[in-house]
Amino acid sequence: MSKSDSKSVGQDKLLSKHDLNQIWYRWGFTHLSSMSYEKIQGHSWAYSYIPFANKFYKNDIEKKRRLLQRHSMFYNTEPQTGQLINGIVASLEEQIAMGKDVSEEMPVNIKTTLMGPLAGIGDSIIQGIIVPILLSIGMSLAKGGSPLGPIFYIVAYGIIGPTISYIAFHSGYKLGVNAIDIIVGENSKRITDAFNILGVMVVGALAANTIVLKTIAKIPMGGKTESLENVLNGIFPGLLPLAMVLLGWWLVSSKQMTATKVILIMTVIVTIGCLIGLF
Amino acid sequence: MDTSLFFPALLTGIFCYLGAIETPWLFGMSGGFYIVGRPLVAGLLVGLAFGDIKSGILCGLAVQAVFIANLSTGGATNSEITYAAYGGIGLAMATTKNPAIAVTLAILIGQTFGLIFYNGRMALYSFWNARAEKAADQADTRGITLNHLVYPQITTFILRAVPVFLAIFYGKGLVNWLINSIPEIITHIIQVLGGVLPALGIALLMGIVIKNKTHLIFFMAGFVLLSFAKLSMIAIVFIAALVAYMYYFASSNKGTGNGESETKEATESAVNTDDEYEDDDLF
């Protein structure tokens, strides 16, 4: 594509399929490759726009500099579902490069506004639903040491992860700024809430399925001793795991504790419990 | 020294690098952290490296159960799953091939050395970030590539592959000594802790998905469907999807009373009714 083409006003597409895919996979590969607490995924944006900068701002070093600068800021979202934002920003950067009436702050604002909401929904879908469920299936297939379990997981997530990333990027690009209304609009809030309900229920089941805490204490019952675990199971199966996870949730959400502190508290509880013969 | 351990230990170290959260080579997190980084997959890979797939997978399976709710949000993590998986399974494979030993070692490594290395690297990378930012200020695309991709990856390779390789190659004696000299009560505490650790990952997940304390009822419903009704996870996903759909349906038809029609109109009218559900004092 020549320089004069990109300046013509009537044109509404500048990026070829190849340009777009370059932005997609450059982010897809390197989103966390320079991950620090200070920037998280920030510099991956600049990296994914290098071919774009070299192609469209070849003769305008000042614009190229501003493009790379505005894509070197702190950024953090779920990087697979979050490709939706990369798609929206690609459509905005395309319009900026064509000289259309889009301000250079617009991509920055979009990134800071959307990264939070998309991280919330993305983390609950990927880490809360898809990964644990595929792992549960893989683990049941791997019983007895069968390689089928890990192979199932590799193939299943190997297809699902990149597919989510690809679809999210291209739908973000197609919708452009209209996607924002869809993401922060009222109807989307209800869809997000509904997904959250799905997530909360699955996480509840996951808690019952994965946390293991049994008491070995015995209590006297009508002359002989009965295992406390059996008594508890008769009332509420999984009561101890439930108590543990609710404690963890309370410490994390109400007390704002860090993961490390909660680990220490749980270690202390388990140690004391073991020493007094409870667990 | 056992030289036959050289290649398995080296491969395990390289896998530990490939499964890291910051590794780009396998389509970022998709193929790295979420696939090679999972203990279930680590079991297969380490099993291949040591030429004993079955024992590897059994160790991977046991470690995976502890780390199933591993979570990474905003750079913070509850345990370093990659060091835990490759260090724990690798050392177990080099010694007793016992899954219980793999779990104990994985917890010890993941909660101590793993987190120290992880947080150290996160802090260290600010150095490369500052250089990448300077490169962007000068429109130096080569500088961005070097400081975003090349130098950080060399750093992370050194911090992951090398310690895991050394630990497995030289750690055999130490692990054997640990296994023989750790008092039984400590092993018991670590085993119980392994069962409890998923509670933290799940608590962090709850922090993300539970926006309103009344939603705890959905958590309880999911919990009892498994603990009382003994349904499988897949069955519960479908029930949860049904509940979510009804929740969506109910919230988009507030006030109309007409279930099936005019969803769009209802969408707008529902805006007003949302307020009463956002009152935090309700619970």
User: Are B78 and A207 in contact (CB < 8 Å)?
Assistant: no
Of A187, A206, A225, which residue is a domain's last?
Answer: A206
- Identify the domain boundary among A206, A228, A262: A206
Same domain assignment for residues A69 and A147: yes
Q: In this structure, are residues A73 and A79 in contact, taking their beta carbons and an 8 Å threshold? A: no
Pair (A164, A78) in one structural domain: yes
Pick the residue with more confidence: A259 or B67?
A: B67
Tally of domains within chain A: 2
In the chain, the amino acid numbered B87 is G
Interface test with A, best of B29, B122, B223 (most A CBs within 10 A): B223
CB A221, CB B175: distance < 8 Å: no
Please state, in angstroms and rounded to a whole number, the distance separating the CA atoms of residues A62 and B137.
Answer: 10
Its domain, for residue A43, covers 3-206
Distances (CA, A) of B272 to A180, A197, B255: 21, 21, 10
For chain A, the residue count is 279
For residues A72 and A46, the answer to whether their CB atoms sit within 8 Å is yes
Tell me the pLDDT tens digit for each residue of A44-95: 999 999 999 999 999 999 999 999 999 999 999 999 999 999 999 999 999 9
| Boundary (domain end) residue, out of A160, A189, A206 | A206
The sign of the torsion formed by the CA atoms of A240, A245, A246, A251 equals positive
Contact A197, A189 (CB under 8 A): no
Is B26 in a helix, a strand, or coil?
coil
Q: Bridge-partner residues for A219, per DSSP?
A: A226
Let me know whether A197 and A249 are in one domain. Answer: no
Asked if the model's pLDDT at residue B257 lies above 80, the reply is no
| pLDDT mean over A217-226 | 86
Same domain, A29 and A91: yes
Are residues A196 and A111 part of one domain?
A: yes
pLDDT at B271 over 70: no
Cα–Cα distance measured from residue A111 to residue A48, given in angstroms and rounded to the nearest whole number: 15
Q: Is there a single domain that holds both residue A251 and residue A190?
A: no
C-alpha–C-alpha distance, residues B86 and B178, integer Å: 18
Helix (H, G, I), strand (E, B) or coil at B210: coil
**Nearest by CB: B144 against A28, A47, A274:** A47
The interface predicted TM-score (ipTM) is 0.85
pLDDT, tens digit, 9 for 90 and up, residues B45-96: 999 999 999 999 999 999 998 888 787 776 667 778 999 999 999 999 999 8
Instruction: Tell me the chain B residues in contact with residue A263 when contact means C-beta distances shorter than 8 Å.
Output: 78-79, 111, 197, 200
Which chain A residues touch B41 with a CB distance below 8 Å?
150, 153-154
Residue-wise pLDDT for B151-183, tens only, equals: 999 999 999 999 999 999 998 888 888 888 888
Are A241 and A125 within one domain?
no
Interface of A with B in 153-212 (CB under 8 A): 153-154, 157-158, 161-162, 165, 186-187, 190-191, 193-212
Q: Are residues A185 and A112 in the same domain?
A: yes
Per-residue pLDDT of A180-216, as tens digits, reads 877 777 887 888 888 889 989 999 998 998 899 999 9
Per-residue model confidence (pLDDT) at position B1: 55
Q: Kindly state whether A11 is in contact with chain B, defined as any CB-CB distance less than 8 angstroms.
A: no
Residues of B in contact with A207 (CB under 8 A): 198-199, 202, 219, 222-223
Domain co-membership, A128 together with A51: yes
Same domain, A199 and A218: no
Distance from CA of B23 to the nearest CA of A (A): 6
Contact in structure between A177 and A184 (CB atoms under 8 Å)? no
pLDDT of B253 reads 62
Cβ-Cβ contacts under 8 Å, B251 against chain A: 190, 193-194
Among B103, B155, B227, B265, which would you mutate to test the A interface (most chain A Cβ atoms within 10 Å of its Cβ)?
Answer: B227
Residue A143 shares a structural domain with residue A240? no
* Whether B148 and A44 lie within 8 Å, measured CB to CB: yes
Residue of A nearest to B200 (CA): A248
Q: Same structural domain for residues A99 and A224?
A: no
Helix (H) or strand (E) holding A221: strand A218-221
Q: Which amino acid is at A185?
A: G
